[in-house]
Chains A and B, each alone.
Chain A
């Protein structure tokens, strides 16, 4: 458990934009958490029948594929995985310059009548998941929708909870949580730093280098 207050107690600097981020989740722990989530999905869905995993770009997508791999290892049959871009459904589009779209790829089986498990790296305000539910509604009518996240950092702004959580990470809103994944960043890690990326819960978000960033960069605020 890492709080901003703990850091202050240990005499670590709490401000300054060069403060190093600290790893709160080792690669081994990420691996174990995903394996556990995979087993939980199998338990809660009667062996993964009809499950479709949809990752939310950017980092939800490799997580969805990792989960699909594990489900296949355990049950011995393939589980479809894809991606669901939510950019056009965000409620804060007009607060920032228009941003590049992520990729949506729905497995050939579609989503109608299936159990869709949405997969994201960090669950924070819940607004990304709200947008994902809207985006999903345009694609079809799943039998049920569940949510799996690697990190739940709290501070929900909407009545949304995750069905599967890799790790609950109590944070201050001033802190930033970044998930790094080998497929995107070359390494696996969850980093916590005391530096907010910007101010205000709505205007915070993807660490962009400008409106023309062609892909969402890492963010601790959910919704890259």
Chain B
């Protein structure tokens, strides 16, 4: 097993499947009266969050606690970072406190990669800038496999603000490793320049993509990262790239709707779609805990020796 989880692209097919299979077993724990395993007793997991997050931080915290690890939550607000401490100094402080794993969310792409060079423990990327969010991709793949029974040959359309999305990149990399066919659907202004080199196809017409999609994943329009006009108005974006009930009807009968959250209801996804039986949005959150337990177990549970 790899020592850090920085990019979904670092995972081989066997490693990705091992994580998903492990998560499948750990998912049973959620239904037991005692939701606890002794496996990581005495290990310390630090949640180092430089950006706001609700579900990811809570999900990692629940995962670590269900494995009996000690959890230290660190958010940049109210810490020495507000006084100007650098990432490296923060990292060395954590190192001195004996962190066995650091779960980091940072606004700068590449921050987890830098951190991995400074600390002895494992580093788990919980989202870095517009770069990657590998555990989100893993829980998305897990949810797809649960709902549809397979991943190989699955046709997945990822729709919306790909440019600012770390979820999109991680999903493209992971799903192509797992044998799914990914299509990105977005206005040209919201696609990254190098998208041609990604292992996926690209389209601009949502209505044409939907009938062929087993899974449609709606991305949040990240207005807080938009420093220019990427589309004329929110209303126009919503009309062309938003998923409403009539568009959802274009999906094949078994097709599912996913969203990594948090949602802008009425922008990229209509409320009636988000709350429909085809939506997996609440399941994704529940599955996130199991998948993150699997990642923490596989990174920290063993000797850490490279074989």
Contact = CB atoms under 8 A, between A and B. Distances in A.
Interface of A: 85, 88-89, 93-104, 134, 138-140, 210-212, 214
A210 B14 CA distance: 12
A212 B301 contact: no
A96 B301 CA distance: 9
A211 B22 CA distance: 13
B275 interface: no
B22 A101 contact: yes
B21 A100 contact: yes
Given A97-B307, A98-B299, A88 B37 contact: yes
Interface stretch (B26-34, B149-157, B244-252): B26-34
Contacts of A88: 37-39, 297, 301
A140 B33 CA distance: 9
A212 B302 contact: no
A97 B22 CA distance: 14
B97 interface: no
A55 to B, nearest CB: 15
Interface residues of B, number: 28
B28 to A, nearest CB: 6
Contact of B1 (A97, A103, A134, A138): A97
A95 B305 CA distance: 9
B233 interface: no
Majority secondary structure of chain A interface residues (helix, strand, loop or mixed): loop
Contact of A104 (B14, B15, B22, B25): B25
18 contacts: A88-B39, A88-B297, A89-B39, A93-B302, A97-B1, A97-B303, A97-B304, A97-B305, A98-B301, A100-B21, A101-B21, A101-B26, A102-B25, A103-B25, A104-B25, A138-B34, A212-B1, A214-B21
Contacts of A93: 39, 301-302
A89 B25 contact: no
B17 interface: yes
A93 B307 CA distance: 15
Interface string B285-307: 00000000000011111111111
Given A104-B25, A210-B307, A99 B14 contact: no
A107 to B, nearest CB: 14
A72 B268 CA distance: 58
B34 to A, nearest CB: 5
Contacts of B34: 138
B36 interface: yes
Contacts of A211: 1, 302, 307
Given A97-B306, A214-B21, 15 more contacts: A94-B302, A95-B303, A97-B302, A100-B22, A101-B21, A101-B22, A102-B25, A138-B32, A138-B37, A211-B302, A211-B307, A212-B1, A212-B14, A212-B15, A214-B17
A113 to B, nearest CB: 15
B38 A98 contact: no
Interface string B1-25: 1000000000000110110011001
The 7 A-B pairs of least Cβ separation, nearest first, read: A98-B302, A97-B302, A98-B301, A101-B25, A88-B39, A88-B37, A98-B298
Contacts of A140: 33
Contacts of A95: 303
Contacts of B298: 98
Contacts of B305: 96-97
A214 B20 CA distance: 11
Contacts of B304: 97
A137 to B, nearest CB: 9
A214 B1 contact: no
B38 A89 contact: yes
Contacts of A210: 307
A25 to B, nearest CB: 31
B302 A96 contact: yes
Contact of A139 (B26, B32, B39, B299): B32
